[in-house]
Every structure is written in structure tokens, then in C-alpha cells.
Chain A
Amino acid sequence: MPAFYLIVITLGAFYLGYRFYSKYLAERVYALDPNFKTPANELADGVDFVPTNKHILLGHHFTAVAGAAPIVGPAIAVYWGWLPAIAWVILGTVFGAGVHDFGAIVTSARNRGQNIGTLSGKVISARASTLFLLIIFFLLTLVNAVFGVVMAILFEAHPGSVIPAVIVIPIAMCIGQWVYRMRGAVLIPSIIGLVLLYAAIPVGQMFPIHVDGLADMLGLSVRTTWVILIFAYTWVASRLPVWLLLQPRDYINGQQLLVALAVIFTGVVVGWDTITAPAVNDVAEGTKHWFPYLFITIACGAISGFHSLVASGTTSKQIANETDARYIGYGGAMGEGALALAAILACTAGLGSAADWNTAYASFGAASGGALDHFVTGVGHFLSNIGIDAALGASFAVVVVVTFAGTTMDTGVRLQRYILEEIAELAGFKALVGKTSLLTTLAVLIPLALALVPGGDSSGGKGFAFGQLWTLFGTTNQLTAGLALSVISVWVMARNRNPLAAIVPLTFLLFMTSWALILNLLDFLAQGSWMLLIMDAGIFVLTAWLIVEAVTALNRQRRTA
């Protein structure tokens, strides 16, 4: 089947979802009121609460929620065939992420811009705030672990991409200096920065960076050495002021994302590639089955709890009119779905013949360990369709993923620092409170230990349990979505409106997550992977806790109504 058809079907479904389902949500479930005074107008302080143009806010919301995760998840999940993957992306986006992201903005805006953590304490129960804190702790630990491994895998496999990926740092810092020290406008320096970044790609190809010498000296594998170097860098980066590196690099990521989406879709149309990969892959007996693993492998790109943190943390404080929530929340979810579609195309149509695809996706280990490589190869192929050398195209794709992963880790470590401090305060460990260096070190060491857990199979994991870590990351992401959907459901019920639009995805997610966690638990027990087993058991306890809290809150609300 021509890959272009898949674009038409997916984007067509998104259009219908936006046109009809989001309209239903806006009118009947969230009952948007154009006269409601949003927190941005009511509490305008020029800092947190700032009424913002809806197109700018959509750009901000979309680039904040999109990252490397909607690329990695689908790149692994096509192992079960492209059909289950794209079906979940479409249904998840239209009936899950759209409801969730849109609802998180509205619920938060109707509660003076409070975030999901505070709202869960208010709407569900006081205990739910602690539950939120613990879920976020697991989520951030796994985010930092998986993205550390993602970057190491890419740097080891594509040493030619190290220079362009690293050069983003001084470029971003120069933009930060220009904007905040020289008070200059951003447009021209950002275009110069983009040109310099792309100019560094062929330079990187000429001077590939290997760390074999350092690895030999330390007596470690190349990948382990990269993981350690990346976490050391993250420790330093997360201590720098936000304006100096994090903000300008995040902005460069946004530019990269739009360029990547444009070249992938253009490449597919120009090259008129066909999808030779199987619609449904007959996986070997004893391998992870798509049911339930598909639903936690693709979180970002279908439905992801991380979005509720952005939606209620910053977006809800900036919407100028409540009716903008539909455009930003539902629109942002569709944008992330489009990124997941691009990843699916790169890992199916971009990989060439059916035989090539079968080799790349020979096992779940090969699918997970090689997911990034498959995406990068696919993007390289699409770029070759529009006359750009495939190796340079692949390097471009590596830079896109690495800059996203780097920014995610930087933000993740900063957030984890606050979470650890809060947990330490709750647990009475006063010695940790206010110790930024110590907290940063802990925020780096915990995911580093997890990233170095041995596992995976020899075909793709290359000694790292990347596939297992990814599925655990998916469960925490879906748990966060579960908590946000619980808040939205109770809030909608309290207003005597039909909450089914939120309760159905909530039930589905909690069921799939619990099932996958139990299967994982048995796997880790059989393999003797104790660290992963402890993580899995911890997340399972949180899931059970969330189910109890959600059912209790919904029942209480039903009796009140």
C-alpha cells in the first residue's frame, strides 16, 4: 500500500475527530464559555498568568508535549505490524489524548490554573496528592533512564552525528546570550543558528567522534561510557540558568520538529514509497504480544499523562479565552499523533523491502534496541527522495532525536530535584532539603543505575534492558494519564454532565496498564531482574492505589449527584 494513503487516512481521521468529537466535548462535556474569565485574565501577573495568542500557545503547547517519546514508542510498536500501531495512534489520539489534554486545560483553568497534582488532592482525595508525587517520581526516573540510553545508542551507532548534536549547545547558549544580555530579537539569530547546525552535519560526517579509547581506559563498553558521559553532562546542564541553555535549546527543538515533520511527509509524497512491512506481524510464540503491550509502548503519540503536566502546569495559565482550549488541547494532541504517524512511516515505508523490514524487526529485542536506528534510517531514506544524501539525512534525524532527548533529560533532572526534595520533606529527611547539589546528584544517579541494568536480548538491546525500561516508562505515563482522567471525570460528573468520554479511556488505560505490569512482573521474576522487578512492583502498587482512589471518588460523586 502506498504510504501516502496512510497519511490521508490518519490525518482524515484527525480532522473528523476535531470537527465533530472535539465539538461535542466543547459543547456537552466541558461546556466552554466564551465569557468565562480565564486565570490568565483574572490573575494576570506577567509571570505565570499571561493571556497569550492562541496560535502562539498552540506552538508552545505542541513543542512542549512532543519530544523523542512519540518517535521511540511507535518505532518499537511497529514490531506487531503497522496496522495495530496506526489504529492505536488514531483511536488513542481522537478518543484518548484529545479528551485528556483538552480536559486537563479546562479543569485547570476552571480552578485558577492549579496543576493536576493539586487538583487531584482537591477533587479526588488528600492522599491523591501523595500518589501523584510518587507517580511523577517513577515517571521522571524512567524518562531520564530511557533517554540516557537513547542518546548512547545513537551516538554509538552514528558517531558522525556527535558534532552536530553537541554544537546545538553553544548555538543555544549564544542565542540565550543574545536575547537576554544584548536584548536582541530572536528571529535572525535563530535562523543563523539553524544554518550553522545544518552546516555541522557534513562536518560531523567528516569527523566522527568515537569514545573507544576512553571506554578501553575505563574498562567499560562504548555504550556504557556514552551513558555515563551523557548523565555527567546532564548534571552540569541542569545546574545552568534556564535562559542560558534550556530555553534556547527547547526553541531549537521546536524548529527541528517542524522541519522534520515537513521533510518526512514531503519525502513520502515525492518518493511515493509503499509499505512492504506486514499489516499484522505474526510474532513468535513466547514473545511479548501486542495486547496489552501496544498500549503502553505507544503512550506519547496516542495518549500520554505527561501532557496533563504541561496542560495544567503552564498552558491553562495562559489561555486568553476558554474556547481556545479546544484548539490548543485537541490540536496539540493531533500534532503529536502526526509525529507518531511520521515515526510509523519511517520505520515501515522507510526501511525498504519486506526482507529488510523482517531483518530489522526480527525480535522484540531487535525492535526495541534498534528502534532509533530504524527511525533514523527511514528518515534518511525519505530525505534521499528529495535529493539529500541519505547519510546526511540520517544524521539530521539523529540530531532531532538527541536534542529532544537532551532537553527532556535536562528538564527531567530539574523536576526530579524538586520531587525528591518534596518526598524528603514528607518523609522527614531534613538533611536533603535545600541541598541542590546533593539532590541533583541523586536525581542523576538513580536513573543512571537503572539505565545500566543489564538485560535485553543480544539482537538489539546490546546488553541494556532498553525494551523493558521503555514498557515501564509507558506504564508510568499511562498512570499519570489515569490520574488526570480521574480528576476530569469527577469534575465533569460534579457538573451533572455525561463523564463517559473521560471514564472510558480511564478504564481502558488502567486495565491495560495493570495487565502489562503483571506480565512484566512475571517476566522479571523469571529473568531474575531484581531492580526492574522492584520498579515494576512499585508501579503496580501505585496502579492499585489509583484504581481504589478513582473508584471511590467516582462513587462518592455519583451518590452526591
Chain B
Amino acid sequence: MTTDDDDAPSLWQRINAYHDELFMAPWRAGIARQARNEEEILVALLFLEALGIPGPADYYALELYPDLVEAFHRWHQRMGMDTFPEAGVCC
């Protein structure tokens, strides 16, 4: 049986969390932006077919699609399209 006290983070865990935040806070935005740029390139390459351009790697990348549909949805919204016009892609 666990109590609330058992679930509470230990002093060591709290120090670690505090320290990690000190490490992350200054660069959080910059790194998230860089990660988003990388994701955008990947999404654009994998969804070439949906954009009307034949994608040479489409067959090999098929199993990635379910994982990247959400990313593709965010991407076309950032690009200014609230809903993607092609049926059956994401929205």
C-alpha cells in the first residue's frame, strides 16, 4: 500500500528537478524552435504525395504516417491552412 508521503518526491528528486529546470529554462524556446524546424522538413518530405508531388521514399515510410499525422496537421495549420483540402489525410 502506498501513501501520499511515499509518492512525494524525495529531496534528491526535488534537487534534480530544480537543477534540470535551471539547465533547461534559458534555452527551452530556442531548442523547441530548432526541433520544430527539423520536424517540418521531415513532415514535408514524408507527405510529398499529399502535396501532389511524387515522394520516392513514400513506400518505405508508410508505417511512419500514423505517428506523423498529428505533426502534419500542426504543420499545415502553421502554414496558414486551417483544414487540409485533400480528403483522407488528416482532417
Contact = CB atoms under 8 A, between A and B. Distances in A.
User: Are A and B associated in one complex?
Assistant: yes
Interface of A: 46-48, 50, 52-53, 56-57, 59-60, 63-64, 179, 185-187, 190, 241-243, 246-248, 250-251, 314, 317-318
B27 A56 contact: no
B31 interface: yes
A242 B34 contact: yes
A47 B28 contact: yes
A383 to B, nearest CB: 26
B26 interface: yes
27 contacts: A47-B28, A50-B25, A50-B28, A52-B21, A53-B18, A56-B18, A56-B25, A59-B22, A60-B22, A60-B25, A60-B26, A64-B26, A185-B19, A186-B16, A186-B19, A187-B16, A243-B31, A247-B23, A247-B26, A247-B27, A247-B30, A247-B31, A248-B23, A251-B22, A251-B23, A314-B29, A318-B25
Interface string B26-53: 1111111110000000000000000000
Contacts of B19: 185-187, 190
Decide if the interface of chain B is mainly helix, strand, loop or mixed. Answer: helix
Nearest to A414: B30
A459 to B, nearest CB: 40
A64 B21 CA distance: 15
Contacts of A46: 32
A63 B31 contact: no
Interface of B: 15-16, 18-23, 25-34
Contacts of A246: 27
Contact of A179 (B21, B23, B25, B28): B23
Contacts of A53: 18, 21
Nearest to A241: B34
A57 B30 CA distance: 16
Given A47-B32, A60-B26, A317-B29, 4 more contacts: A52-B25, A57-B25, A185-B16, A246-B27
The 9 closest A-B pairs by CB, nearest first: A247-B27, A47-B32, A186-B23, A60-B26, A48-B29, A187-B19, A185-B16, A242-B30, A60-B25
A547 B81 CA distance: 44
